[in-house]
Structures are given as structure tokens and as C-alpha cells.
Amino acid sequence: MTRPVTARVPAKVNVQLAVGGLRPDGFHDLANVFLAVGLHDEVTATPADSLRLTVEGADAGQVPLDRTNLAARAASALAERHGIAPDVHLHIAKDIPVAGGMAGGSADAAGALLACDALWGTKATCAELLEICADLGSDIPFSLVGGVALGRGRGELLTPLETGGTFHWVFAVADGGLSTPAVYRECDRLREASGAGASAADVPEPEPSKALLDALRTGDATALAAAVSNDLQPAALSLRPALADTLRAGADAGALASLVSGSGPTCAFLAKDTEAAQAVAGALTASGTCRTVRITSGPVPGARLVGA
């Protein structure tokens, strides 16, 4: 019998998320600087008579177990390309917050692709896997490659970025999730309400911050903190005003930067070093403004087979 194959995939934080105007196809052009951090999901692929999913870990009950799950869709897409049946049991051990703006679902899709490719012996090239990833979702290609990268287009067109060190992060996980499409809709609504307009014709083309790219290259956490930004943060705060208290608690505890991670509701705090991260985490826990707190660092590699 073929042995199970396990892939380990990281979470991400967006150190810059510049959002262009609403395109006619319903998407937004982005300048999205991803940084992979050391919180991981593991996806194990085992031969089975049909495609089925099981999930364990925090918030596992919030993860769909049907064909809408991105991991299931990834396995089906790979199988279809190679003319085989998607007969696999995918077991997801979750450690990345669910619906938290840290690309947990995208990570699971990338992990499923890598694990199923190894299990089935489809020998897909990296370019083929990235193409499937891009078809499935904007964040999934980065989950496959990891490290630090600039995403253009919807975020799926990746350029790896040079980094000069390790950055220390604290993540404050909120109760419940936020729908990414809902946050983008709120971003558009707020732009319309401001009178500036929300269409691609109204909003300047998003561009990466030179100061941010320089800070990543030199490994300067203080400079990075001064340059981080998230155009979706006002929308996330509009939908979940209590996140302002979480951001304030982290800032008051000495975080170099405090921002909503992606579409939220997880909040990310950049710290000077491990000791400072522990102090921020302790203050956030004591503040009662979040459900749980995680300390980690990055960048880390993308999807990898365990034991490979």
C-alpha cells in the first residue's frame, strides 16, 4: 500500500497590502508584499476510494469538509489535469487561525497539491503547480513558494524579494472570522462614501513601497515598522470596531508596528526581538481584547514535504 504523504505549509502576513480600484471582473489589482511566518498547517494525503476530508486542531469545526474546501478543490484540479480520479483522504492538522487573514485555507490548498502530487506520482512541475494555485485563489501561489514576495495582479503574480534577517511577530487571534469578499466590498463602499470613487479608474495603480522593500532587504525591523501598510485595515475596522482596542493594546505594549493582517480579523504586531515579542504577547493576553496570542518569526520557506 502507498504510504501517506504529508506537506507542511506556513501562514503569511502582509507587510504591505496596497489595493487598487474595483476592476470590471470584480477583482482588484494589488501590490501585496507577503512574508511567510512560522505557524504551519500540515496536510496528509492517503490513498482512498473517494475524495474525503478530515480536520483537527483549533477551530476545526469552522472548516468545510465538502468540495468547497480549497484543499479538496486543489486535489481535484491536479487529478483532472492528469486524467486520474481524485481518490484521496486529505487530513488537515490546523495551527493557522481559520478565517483570520493569514491564508490558512490557501496554505491547505498548496499543501494538498504538493502532497497529492507526491502520492500520485504526477510529477507536476513547479510552474504547473503555480498555475493551478493561481486558478484556485490569489494567495495560494505564495503559500507554495513562501519566503518573502511581491504579488501583483490579484496577488498571484509573484516576484521573490531579498531579505536581510529575521522579523519577530506576535499575532492576536480574534473571536470569529471575517469574510475576505466582505472586507473588499466594505473597502469599496468606504472609498465611494469618501467621494474619491472605488473603480480602477478612480484609484491610483498600487505600487510597492521602496522604503518597505529596502527595510526587508537590510533586515531593519524599525524601518520596516515605519513602512508597513494595509489598505484593507479601515474596512476591517469598520466591520469589526473592537479590533481597534487590540491594535492599541499591542502598540501600548511596545510593538514597533500594529496592523490588521490581510483582511483580518487577526492583528499582527512587529517586535524588535524575541524578548520584546514576549512582552507584547503578555500584554495582549492580559488586555482581554483577543481570544489567543501567538509568537513566531519569519520569513520561512513555503510548502515542503515532511521528511523529504
Any idea which residues carry the catalytic annotation?
Answer: 12, 139
Do 217 and 162 touch, CB atoms closer than 8 A? yes
Distance, CA of 203 to CA of 276 (rounded, Å):
38
Distance, CA of 118 to CA of 258 (rounded, Å):
39
Beta-bridged to residue 146, according to DSSP, are 301
**493576553: which residue's cell?**
285
Q: What is the DSSP string of 173-194?
A: EPSS---HHHHHHHHHHHHHHH
The residue count of the chain comes to: 308
Phi, psi (5° rounding) for residue 265? -90, 5
| Residues 183, 186, 187: CA angle, nearest 5 degrees | 85
Nearest one of 37, 11, 14, 180 to 94, comparing CA atoms: 11
List, in order, residues 6 or more apart from 127 with CB less than 8 Å away. none
